[in-house]
Amino acid sequence: MSPAPSSPTGDESGDGPGRRASVGAYVRAYVALSKPRVIELLLITTIPVMFVAAQGVPPLWTAAATLVFGTMSAASANALNCYIDRDIDKEMRRTRRRPVAMHQVTPRGTLVYGLVLAVGSTAGFALAVNWLSAALSVFAILFYIFVYTLLLKRRTAQNVVWGGIAGCMPVLIGWAAITERLDWAPFVLFLVVFFWTPPHTWALAMRYREDYAAAQVPMLPVVATDRRVLLECVLYSWATVVTSVLLWPVAGTTLFYLAVAVVLGGLLLVQAHRLLARSRAGVSGAQLKTMGFFHLSNAYLALLFTAVTIDPLLAGWLA
């Protein structure tokens, strides 16, 4: 792996501040390959499920190891995605500043980086956590690369529906890390993330529709009308909320979780229906302001899983 021919910062003329800036930019470029914001979202779902699995605070070592190797696993998949998609990343405003597209790192360096992280995360899970979590981690990486990135992304408008399975895997990994088995409760949370992913992603894709069209990626907003996209967003939002409520009887959560799920779900559904109504009234394009739904859906998932974390602690305190 070698740094970019020309660094975005600093002076390249030898030792001193310029060289330090170049090394710093090099490190930041590899961090950016990992897509830290995406990893943050995955950790939001991994940590809470460990609390549910442990019915309280999970073992510190197991939780820390799961987060470290889970981060490495997700970073591996994201880096390999950057390697494969380097051609279309150059065509899209949202992705053209990624390190490979900007020639801050080489494609070969990106590939090696992703593979090393994949091997390291798998070995770490197997040795420090358990084999089931290691197997699930490998499945998530392979699914994201071979099923989503290589098979679905450039071929079908349903790419994020089925490709989103990879983003649901941290829920199963977190549960398996604590219990060394799978159960119905993590699958319910798996489905919450599964149904949440399409409307969340499509809201963003509507904002960057021209980018996806230029890159010839058939995201649903590229091949369907606003009304069709927003109708599907409403349907998937309903599926998300209904599934989130199912955790109450399946996992035996308290009324605290149920109340939070209902309130948050209501807010999500109101916004989804509002967008659909605006579309039916003739509002289109940027005037729909779909990014408001995108940000709300981010907050929805974060707050829902925060309630998932708090609920077993509250149940233990009330017992």
Give the per-residue pLDDT at 198.
97
Q: What is the pTM of this model?
A: 0.90
Q: Does domain 183-319 have CATH number 1.20.120?
A: yes
What are the CB-based long-range contacts (under 8 Å, 24+) for 248-257? 250/184, 250/185, 250/188, 251/52, 251/184, 251/185, 251/188, 253/308, 253/311, 253/312, 253/315, 254/311, 254/314, 254/315, 254/318, 256/307, 256/310, 256/311, 256/314, 257/307, 257/308, 257/310, 257/311
Per-residue pLDDT of the chain (319 residues; tens, 9 = 90+): 433 333 333 333 333 434 444 777 888 999 999 999 888 888 899 999 999 999 999 999 999 999 999 999 999 999 999 999 999 998 888 888 889 988 889 999 999 999 999 999 999 999 999 999 999 999 999 999 999 999 999 999 999 999 999 999 999 999 999 999 999 999 999 999 999 999 999 999 999 999 999 999 999 999 999 999 999 999 999 999 999 999 999 999 999 999 999 999 999 999 999 999 999 998 887 788 999 999 999 999 999 999 999 999 998 887 6
For the record, the structure tokens of 32 come out as: 């950016």
Rounded CA separation 319/307 (Å) = 18
CATH number belonging to domain 35-182: 1.10.357.140
pLDDT at 141: 97
Domain ranges, ordered by start, for the chain: 35-182, 183-319
User: One fold for both 35-182 and 183-319?
Assistant: no
